[in-house]
Amino acid sequence: MGKHAAGAHIVWDWNGTLFHDNDAVISATNAAFEEVGLEPITLERYRELYCVPIPRFYQRLMGRLPTEAEWERMDIAFQRHYTLHRTACRLADGAELLLADWSSAGRSQSILSMYGHDELVPLVREFGIESHFLRVDGRTGPSGGSKAEHMVRHLGALAGAGVAPGCTVVIGDAADDAVAALHAGARAVLYTGGSHSRASLEGVGAPVVDTLAEAVGLAERLAV
């Protein structure tokens, strides 16, 4: 990659973007559904309907919002089964090289995920990629919400390192990644390899790509 956008910063999403965990997500989702008697869902159906806040996703399948007790049971089941199945998952194809190339070009990057912080940090470390990032932030507090306010805090924490929202591109696999980017004054590129179908992503207004290499190429041009 060229070096004309040295101030460019990428905020990477983790689940479904850098971390290819679709199989674990579907297994855990179906375990959660079993808690309230819902039929199993396919990856294709999941990607058509998935949205945040997560209870709204469940509403699309149940015809109503889950009760507080149902949500708690489903969330516990999801987290337990996801932890079991994630061990078989790996980084997305080409992710390690893209991270290394972006860093070697003198640009910065970070991770902001709605995966629990205490689970995320050791997992990133396990893959040997932690040194590429200025920050690795996972969710603190309840699960199931939007990334928008987390993004504001994440970029605020990076301001001292010279990261400006206007020179930042968020790369993620969910419509909420674009919403969070806009909320924080950044831009977004959305990737079709994770939780959303191309059709559901194209309605958001951000560029949509099929590979992480395309996403990084767009980020280089947008973050100037």
Assess contact for 182 and 171: CB atoms under 8 A.
no
Cβ contact 223:167 at 8 Å: yes
* Residue type at 125 in one-letter notation: R
pLDDT band at 5 (very low <50, low <70, confident <90, very high): very low
Question: Residue 3 pLDDT > 50, yes or no?
Answer: no
Question: Does 36 have pLDDT greater than 70?
Answer: yes
Of 8, 4, 10, 37, which Cα lies nearest the Cα of 215?
10
Asked if residue 6 has pLDDT above 60, the reply is no
Task: Provide mean pLDDT across the span 83-97.
Answer: 96
Q: What is the mean pLDDT of residues 167-189?
A: 96
Closest CA to 51 of 147, 183, 141, 155: 147
Of 70, 84, 1, 72, the C-alpha closest to 37 is 70
pLDDT category at 128 given cuts 50, 70, 90 is very high
High-pLDDT (> 90) share of the chain, %: 85
| CA pair distance 150, 114, nearest whole angstrom | 9
Instruction: Choose among 163, 18, 30: nearest CA to 97.
Output: 18
Give the global pTM.
0.92
Would you state the pLDDT for residue 29? 95
pLDDT digits (tens, 9 = 90+) for 11-26: 999 999 999 999 999 9
